């Protein structure tokens, strides 16, 4: 069995009414059957479709001798002859007709209200007209109502309750699509017509609108590539804030190889196989595998929305980006209606992706939010809309959040937001690829050395002005800053490390150290530097500076990151880290004969003494690495609080912590005393050049290893 359709199987011609009769045969029969049983029926459909639905239902009712009265607000001949009457307008005329139909009826008949939504809808409450209409609708039990409402308009509950039977005619059924495409129109899609491929782009259209669009298709018959015909349909089906993005997953997004692989394997490859298949059973099986709800989570600026646009580009989908806070309204029910309209427009423009930016702004865990309560209703409406998806409809929902743990668990279960994609801060490889993309787009002409420097300068040892790691957005901002530097100075040649550094801090206020302060800081940082060289289990220094580009970290010693590490630290590594933390204050004691507050940083969590104390406590109380008896016991809970213990045990723990700290301090002091010449040399160089970079550091390390080869054996 194949879904491919021969041209001879398609109708040669088709008018709008015939298309509606064919496309919605089952729905029309259901409406007529309920009307004949005396059940008031409410039909939700587009305005342009309502007259055709009514005519089809009327034909079925006439066969059973059932009369209909159609109240659309157009004056009838008798009303039109009343020239002296004041004009009432459309709404006034409809209410007058409704009143006459209700109170003048002498027989059981069907009253059709094609604009029921216009009569009764108003944001924030009932209109004066609706207060008059509602009693009329309930007044005469002998009338059978057939009401129509557009998906764009909500109805008051008191109106909806009048209709025990409600039916939505939204979009098209995939299996009937080939019955409403003519032979002439099918020729625009190539020699072989695949109605299921066409359905991908028209699933949200009603039959009337589809027929109008198909009849206007331009281009040659039997093209080798039907892209032009699909593009015409794609542009015509866009509505509201939806747009067609142009973001290539590889061309425009640098790095993130693992993230891209997950997207391809879980989403894009499955969709591609679905589109390539012509077997309906295989297609149905593949559609069951495609997750329709996705959570993209990670820190700000890492490209969560950009990845969603890349997916949309890959599958030819429209995309709309909705801000969670913008959906909220002070009017009761309007927030939910805003959500419903977002989904309705997306379905009309399918294939489509709805991106809820800051999903956690309204979809927080129920029971944990202290707001107005509208958020709970919005979550329920969101779940309702997602549960209403049809497998054949290509409408995806992407929620982006920085706090995935705060989302309502009901959203995260399978069948809803079941696909979770973590987009972290970019690592070294990712940042390199991102910089290359911006280098090409902005024509910055970075040298290889400049890119290497930019990768290091945005690495783990550096922070942004807001105290976070560097994201893709920060790299974009850096490259734009470099581009402005080049523009101001009319730089024509390659961009070097100098331009990158100017892009970072040309207008930053730096700490201006006095000579006395410079000596103190150079001594302190030199101490960390030298001690780390002789602690064999400690990472080598990568950069040491007493004039940092970062005002919030004016001087520091940075160490190399081991990207291969997948597990925790050994006892030797932790003890070496503890020793290096005391290198600064012991260097001050050795060369200056006094100590400063630099190591304490007044209780700052980044201060040497604070970090050393926390590390020593962790070694004893959490890691079981001390000489304390029964040291393998953990003395702190998962939140870091000390468990209830006896006074003698607490005293023993504190004594062991102090012992470890004293030993580390003494070890740091001995290393510096034994290698005072190296400490003084590093201090002098820091005073002179302010910053020692990795190349020079490697030279120092090689010289030290050569001079003290015996200490580095093994």
41 has which bridge partners?
146, 165
Q: Taking the CA atoms of the chain, what radius of gyration do you get in angstroms?
A: 36
Q: Which residues pair with 296 in a beta bridge?
A: 400, 421
What is the DSSP-derived secondary structure letter of residue 365? P
Cα angle 273, 290, 243 (rounded to 5 degrees) comes to 90
Which DSSP category does 42 fall into? E
* Cβ atoms 521, 555 nearer than 8 A: yes
pLDDT at 630: 47
- pLDDT for position 2: 79
> Which domains are present in the chain?
7-12+173-236 (no CATH), 25-168 (3.40.50.300), 257-422 (3.40.50.300), 428-505 (1.10.8.60), 515-712 (1.20.58.760)
Q: In what order do the strands lie in the sheet with 110-113?
A: 68-70, 110-113, 144-149, 41-44, 165-168
Task: For residue 692, list its beta bridge partners.
Answer: 544
Q: By the 8 A CB rule, do 364 and 407 touch?
A: yes
pLDDT at position 83, please? 46
What's the rounded Cα separation, in Å, for the pair 284 and 391? Answer: 8
Query: Which secondary structure element, helix H or strand E, spans residue 427, and what is its range?
Result: none
In the block, which residue shows the tokens 């157009």?
Answer: 74
Q: Are 583 and 668 in contact (CB under 8 A)?
A: yes
Task: Transcribe 586-623 into DSSP letters.
Answer: HHHHHHTSS--GGGTGGG-TTSHHHHHHHHHHHHHHTS
Instruction: Kindly tell me the number of DSSP H helices and DSSP E strands found in the chain.
Output: 31, 13
Residues 318/243, Cβ–Cβ less than 8 Å: yes
* Of 504, 565, 575, 566, the residue nearest 537 (C-alpha): 575
| DSSP for 498-547, written as a single string | HHHHHHHHTTPPPP---HHHHHHHHHHHHHHHHHHHT-TTSPPEEEEESS
Residues ≥6 apart with Cβ < 8 Å to 484: none
CA distance 208 to 55: 13
Q: State the distance between the two ends of the chain, measured CA to CA, in whole angstroms.
A: 71
User: Which residues, given as ranges, of the chain have pLDDT below 70?
Assistant: 1, 76-88, 105-106, 121-127, 240, 328-333, 365-375, 461, 506-511, 548-553, 563-566, 601-606, 627-642, 644, 714
C-alpha distances in Å from residue 140, one per residue of 99, 143, 449, 564 = 10, 6, 85, 79
pLDDT tens profile 607-628: 889 889 989 988 888 887 776 5
| 33 token code pair | 């059957």
Please check whether residue 524 is in contact with residue 389, taking contact to mean a CB–CB distance below 8 angstroms.
Answer: no
Residues 6+ apart with CB under 8 A from 272: none
User: What is the per-residue DSSP string for 288-323?
Assistant: HH--SEEEEE-STTS-HHHHHHHHHHHHT-EEEEEE
Contact at 8 Å (CB) between 301 and 474?
yes
pLDDT tens digits for 477-495? 999 999 999 999 998 889 9
Closest by CA position to 30, among listed 596, 436, 39? 39
Give the other-Cβ count within 10 Å of 128's Cβ. 8
Q: Per the structure block, which two tokens stand in for 490?
A: 């009319």
CA 384/CA 367 separation, integer angstroms: 19
Q: Is 132 exposed, middle or buried (0-12, 13-18, 19+ CB in 10 A)?
A: middle
Share of the chain above pLDDT 70, in %: 88
Place of tokens 């109605």: 195
* DSSP conformational letter for 665: H
């Amino acid at each position: 069995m194949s879904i491919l359709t021969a041209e001879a199987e398609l109708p040669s011609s088709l008018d709008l009414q015939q298309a509606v009769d064919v496309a919605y045969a089952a729905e029309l029969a259901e409406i007529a059957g309920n009307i004949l049983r005396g059940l008031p029926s409410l039909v939700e459909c587009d305005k342009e479709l309502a007259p055709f639905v009514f005519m089809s239902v009327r034909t079925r009712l006439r066969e059973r001798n059932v009369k209909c009265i159609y109240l659309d607000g157009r004056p009838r001949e008798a009303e039109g002859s009343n020239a002296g009457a004041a004009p009432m307008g459309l709404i006034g005329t409809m209410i007058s007709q409704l009143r006459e139909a209700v109170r003048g009826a002498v027989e059981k008949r069907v009253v059709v209200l094609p604009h029921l939504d216009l009569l009764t809808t108003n944001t924030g409450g009932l209109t004066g007209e609706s207060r008059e209409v509602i009693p009329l609708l309930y007044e005469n039990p002998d009338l059978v109502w057939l009401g129509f409402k557009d998906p764009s308009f909500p109805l008051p509950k008191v109106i909806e309750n009048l209709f025990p039977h409600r039916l939505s005619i939204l979009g098209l059924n995939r299996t009937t699509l080939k019955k409403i495409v003519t032979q002439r129109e099918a020729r625009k899609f190539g020699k072989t017509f695949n109605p299921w491929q066409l359905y991908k782009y028209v699933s949200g259209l009603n039959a009337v609108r589809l027929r109008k669009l198909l009849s206007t298709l331009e281009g040659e018959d039997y093209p080798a590539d039907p892209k032009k015909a699909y593009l015409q349909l794609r542009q015509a089906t866009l509505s509201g804030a939806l747009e067609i993005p142009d973001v290539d997953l590889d061309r425009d997004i640098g790095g993130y190889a693992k993230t891209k692989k997950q997207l391809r394997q879980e989403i894009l490859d499955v969709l591609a196989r679905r589109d390539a298949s012509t077997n309906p059973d295989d297609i149905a099986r593949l559609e069951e595998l495609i997750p329709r709800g996705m959570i993209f989570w990670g820190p700000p600026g890492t490209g969560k929305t950009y990845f969603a646009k890349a997916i949309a580009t890959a599958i030819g989908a429209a995309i709309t980006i909705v801000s969670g806070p913008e959906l909220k309204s002070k009017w009761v029910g309007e927030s939910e209606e805003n959500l419903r309209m977002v989904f309705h427009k997306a379905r009309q423009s399918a294939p489509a992706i709805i991106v809820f930016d800051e999903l956690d702004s309204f979809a927080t865990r129920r029971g944990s939010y202290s707001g107005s309560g509208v958020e709970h209703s919005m979550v329920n409406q969101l779940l309702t809309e997602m549960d209403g998806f049809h497998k054949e409809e290509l409408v995806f929902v992407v929620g982006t959040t920085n706090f995935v743990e705060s989302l309502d668990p009901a959203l995260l279960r399978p069948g809803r937001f079941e696909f979770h994609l973590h987009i972290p801060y970019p690592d070294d490889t990712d940042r390199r690829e991102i910089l290359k993309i911006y280098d090409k787009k902005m024509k910055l002409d970075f040298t290889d050395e400049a890119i290497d420097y930019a990768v290091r300068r945005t690495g783990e040892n550096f922070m942004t002005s807001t105290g976070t790691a560097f994201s893709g957005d920060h790299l974009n901002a850096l490259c734009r800053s470099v581009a402005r530097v080049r523009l101001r100075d009319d730089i024509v040649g390659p961009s070097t490390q100098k331009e990158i550094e100017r892009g970072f801090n040309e207008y930053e206020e730096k700490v201006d150290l006095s000579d006395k302060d410079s000596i103190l800081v150079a001594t302190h940082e030199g101490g960390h530097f030298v001690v780390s060289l002789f602690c064999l289990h400690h990472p080598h220094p990568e950069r040491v500076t007493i004039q940092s580009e970062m005002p919030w970290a004016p001087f520091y010693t940075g160490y190399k990151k081991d990207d291969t590490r997948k597990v925790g630290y050994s006892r030797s590594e932790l003890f070496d880290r503890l020793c290096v933390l005391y290198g600064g204050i012991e260097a001050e004691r050795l060369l200056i004969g006094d100590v400063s507050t630099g190591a304490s940083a007044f209780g700052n969590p980044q201060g040497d003494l604070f970090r050393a104390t926390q590390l020593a406590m962790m070694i004893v109380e959490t890691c079981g690495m001390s000489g304390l008896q029964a040291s393998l016991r953990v003395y702190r809970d998962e939140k870091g609080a000390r468990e209830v213990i006896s006074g003698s045990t607490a005293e023993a723990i504190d004594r062991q912590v102090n012992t470890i700290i004293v030993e580390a301090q003494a070890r740091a002091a001995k290393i510096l005393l034994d290698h005072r010449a190296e400490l003084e040399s590093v201090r002098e160089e820091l005073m002179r050049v302010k910053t020692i970079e990795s190349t020079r550091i490697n030279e120092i390390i090689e010289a030290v290893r050569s001079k003290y080869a015996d200490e580095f054996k093994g």
